[in-house]
Structures are given as C-alpha cells and as structure tokens.
Amino acid sequence: MDIGDSFNDLYLVNETYNLHLPFRLETNKRGASDAVLAESLLYADLVTVTSFLSVSAFFPCYNDGGTIARVVILANKALQEVVDDYEIIVVDDGSTDQSVGVLEELLRSNSVPLRLVRHPRNRGYGGALRTGFAEATKDWVFYTDGDAQYDVAELRKLVALVDDGVDVVQGYKLKRQDPWYRMLIGAVYRRVARFLFSLKIRDVDCDFRLLRRSLLQKIELEHNSGVVCLELVRKLQDFGARFVEVPVCHYRRSYGRSQFFTPRRIADVGIDMARLWWRLVVQQAARGSH
C-alpha cells in the first residue's frame, strides 16, 4: 500500500463521518515556527530503515473521533518506511463520540494492520496506557495520544535512535501549543515532578515515547489517572533504564477538548502525585536506609 491509498482511506472516513481532519503537508501551517522546524529537521538525516526492529504502536483514544483516523493512517505510513515488522493498536477508552465507528470503518477497509481494543467504560488515561502496554507483542512499544497534538510521523526520529545502549527514546516538546493556562499548569507540573521524583528527563509530560518492551515487563503500573506517566518514568528510571531524548513538535488541538484540565482532574492528579511520591520516594528511601 502506498501513501495514496492512505490518503484515500483518510478521505473516505472523513466523508463518511464528516470529521475535522485538516490534513496539511506544510507543517508550519499547524502552528510551529520556522526556528522550531529547523531544530527538528536536524534529526531528519538519522532516519533509516531498521528492519531488525519490531514495533507495537498504540494510541489511547477517548472521544478523538475527529483525529484518530489520521493518527492511525500516518502511523502506518511512517512505520512502513522504517521497520518491516509492526502492529498498530488503538485502545478506545469508552468513547461516546464517533471514535468507534471511525475505527471500525478503518478495520473494514483492510488498509491498515489495526487492532481495536475497547473498554466498555472509561478507565482513565492510565487505564488505557496499561491496556496498550499489555496488548503490545513486539520488541519495542511506541505510543502517543489519539488527539493528534503530536505529529505521529516523527516516530521515525525515535526509531532511528534505537541501539543496544538505549531503552527509552523520549520526546520533548520544542514549543507547547496550548492556551496560556494549560502551559502554565504544565510548566508547574513538570518542575514539581522533576524536583520531587528526581527525574532525569526534561519533559515527563510529553507522551511521545518508544520503549523497550522487555523493560516494561519488569515494572507494574498501578495508576489510572494522568499521573501514570510520572509513575512510568520513575519506575523505569529506578530499573536503570537508559534514556535518550529527541525534540518533537507539538500542535494545537483541532478536535474535541482535553479531559485533563478540569478542576476535578487536576485535584485528582495532585492527590495521586502525593501518594506516588510517598511510595516511590519516601518509602523507598526508608527501605534503602535499613
């Protein structure tokens, strides 16, 4: 299948469901500055076909009906270019919009090696990630969100940085494209998280990651809220995971609304963060002193 087939599938789904799928090849029209793009393009020459890798790419989806088809199709195109063995999984976390219908249309088209896993009710972002990790079968696991705020095609940069001395290829946002209050909350969260949990990476809040599955199998994730990303990174760090970081572009949300930035969700994350700090930092330090 070539990229023309992917475009046809994308427009077929768009026409059927009247989705908000503004497909743009010119990345700078999606909100990234020329300077940001220039820095990102420094990594373009790293992209080569790495046929020895096998990759599970999964996408948590909750009411992302206007973007999830584009994410899946572009992921398929990118993976075809850099690996021979891959699978694509979408974890629908109890969506109430047209997400499931869009994904079932893609399944019927047989144009993408897609596997759909459905939660009968919403389990939260952490629950969706835990399911995605459990469903993955390949040696490496890539994930990002189904809302298309990251360019999934940039996973090629992550794959290019894989070698024997790397366990996690971690993206970091070159420039966050969100309302000012979300950027402020996000900046505070990242600084507090790095301080409390002694994190070595710069952007724990960037859900654009490629991880060695054998290492994932050594940790157990417990949280269902957004704090799961903090839990994931700290537990991997404690197991001695070797991280390498790469800049990725971040874009404004084109469909739907964030499920995280509500007073209740922020309060829940704060409580979960405090509990996680007590367990992973305070109690762990106490055990180490005996």
Strand order in the sheet with 243-248: 114-119, 85-93, 54-61, 140-144, 208-212, 168-173, 243-248
Which position has the higher pLDDT, 3 or 65? Answer: 65
Tokens 């505070």: give the residue: 188
Alpha helices in 95-252 (DSSP H): 99-109, 125-135, 155-160, 180-197, 213-216, 228-238
Hunting for tokens 């095609």 — which residue is that? Answer: 153
| pLDDT at residue number 66 | 94
d(C-alpha 62, C-alpha 227), whole Å? 17
Which residues are CB-neighbours of 250 under 8 A, at least 6 positions away?
A: 32, 149, 150, 173, 174, 175, 176, 177, 178, 206
Predicted confidence band at 243 (pLDDT cuts at 50, 70, 90)? Answer: very high
Q: What is the pLDDT of residues 29-82, one digit of tens each?
A: 344 444 444 444 444 444 455 557 999 999 999 999 999 999 999 999 999 999
In CATH, what is the architecture of 3-288? Alpha-Beta Complex (3.90)
Condensed to tens digits (0 to 9), the pLDDT of residues 153-198 reads 999 999 999 999 999 999 999 877 666 677 787 778 888 888 899 9
Each residue's pLDDT tens digit, 145-159: 999 999 999 999 999
CB 49 within 8 A of CB 133: no
Q: Quote the mean pLDDT of the chain.
A: 82
Whether 259 and 149 have beta carbons less than 8 Å apart is answered as no
What does the domain layout of the chain look like in residue ranges? Answer: 3-288
If you average pLDDT over residues 224-253, what whole number do you get? 93
Q: What is the pLDDT of residue 24?
A: 33
Q: Which residue has the tokens 């799928």?
A: 21
Name residues whose C-beta falls within 8 Å of residue 94's C-beta, 6 or more positions apart in sequence.
62, 118, 119, 120, 121, 122, 123
Task: Supply the pLDDT for residue 178.
Answer: 65
Sole residue written with tokens 């509500």: 262
Map residue 152 onto helix, strand or coil: helix
Higher pLDDT, residue 280 or 35: 280
Nearest to 168 by CA among 214, 138, 209, 221: 209
| Cβ-contact 104, 117 below 8 angstroms | no
Q: List, in sequence order, every residue forming a beta bridge with 90; answer none if it has no partner.
A: 59, 116
CA dihedral 148, 151, 153, 158 (to 10 degrees): -120
The share of the chain scoring above pLDDT 70, in percent, equals: 77
pLDDT (0 to 100) of residue 95: 96
Read off the amino acid at residue 283: Q
Q: CA dist 55 to 50, 158, 233, 247, Å?
A: 11, 11, 20, 20
Give me the mean pLDDT over the 250-258 stretch: 73
